[in-house]
A = this chain, B = another copy of it.
């Protein structure tokens, strides 16, 4: 394999853009129903038509409009976020009981937030079911690196071979999803301890918030479970420069091990498709911010920058 950086971005940001081809865009979007919650006008996510068909929608809880291609959760006008969360949980419970969807076999007992256009929490939904609704999800990614005379070296993780999603692929030093109620930096500190055994004080004092990458992923076979599910994502990105004495170590069962890669080794692994797709995007952003990928050496520089900072069609935090 010899994937270009744009190839890697294309694998991660897969939903079409209206401006490129309005006709194709409309045809493509017709494969999805918009997910809505009554009382809120915004589309909160996109559900593939075949998922809409298979879903054992509990009677009275949902309104499916085949003409408008909308699926609307019928919450009371004055419902609280907790009440809407309950309705979503009841909906998923039925699907779990009937084993309708493979993705729900990976139940996480972790709630992901759904925000409205006013950035207020509308509801939460179990993480493993979030992709069925195609809602916006949030995560954190940290690149731990060492600067030496020979340039930058980066700590790269190898995902556990028994992990449900992307087993055995390369990963950023630390990464994880943000649950309802959690702030990005606190999520990062937690993950850095859990996944890489990094000292909390070190992370709190030295990890720098350096931006975010946003894109719309469409799940393929490597993600496990149903394919074609939409995943609009935001990953908050952090850099942590450490001295060579700091060595990340696996702590939970998510990571097999860590290895220090030169920039050239990371480039080769990227070109070989060894990284989990969204980790490629985080590394490309790192390279852009660190004078490694420039307009002069990368013909797709502008397209890459715009695509990894996608403005989403669904409300974001």
Contact = CB atoms under 8 A, between A and B. Distances in A.
A14 interface: no
Interface string A211-244: 1101000000000000000000010100000000
Given A17-B311, A295-B183, A303 B289 contact: no
Interface string A177-214: 00000011100000000000000000000001111101
Given A183-B295, A212-B305, A301-B317, 15 more contacts: A19-B313, A184-B294, A185-B295, A208-B290, A209-B288, A209-B291, A210-B290, A212-B295, A212-B302, A214-B302, A236-B295, A295-B317, A306-B310, A308-B309, A309-B309
Contacts of A184: 294-296
A163 interface: no
A297 to B, nearest CB: 9
A316 interface: yes
Contacts of A296: 183-185
A28 interface: no
Most buried by B among A183, A184, A302, A310: A302
A253 to B, nearest CB: 29
A24 interface: no
A119 interface: yes
28 contacts: A18-B18, A19-B311, A19-B313, A119-B299, A183-B295, A184-B294, A208-B290, A208-B291, A209-B288, A210-B289, A210-B290, A210-B291, A211-B305, A212-B302, A212-B305, A214-B302, A214-B305, A236-B295, A295-B317, A301-B317, A303-B311, A305-B309, A306-B309, A307-B311, A308-B309, A309-B309, A310-B311, A311-B311
A312 interface: yes
A240 to B, nearest CB: 11
Contacts of A317: 295, 301-302
Given A306-B311, A309-B309, A294 B19 contact: no
A211 B288 contact: yes
A18 B214 CA distance: 18
A296 B189 CA distance: 14
Interface of A is mostly: mixed
Interface of A: 17-19, 119, 183-185, 208-212, 214, 234, 236, 288-291, 294-296, 299, 301-303, 305-313, 316-317
What is the oligomeric copy number?
A: 2
Contacts of A313: 19
Contacts of A308: 309
Nearest to A211: B288
Nearest to A185: B296
A303 B291 contact: no
A18 to B, nearest CB: 5
Closest 5 pairs between A and B when the two form their complex, measured CB to CB: A309-B309, A306-B311, A208-B291, A209-B294, A302-B316
A317 B294 CA distance: 13
Nearest to A313: B19
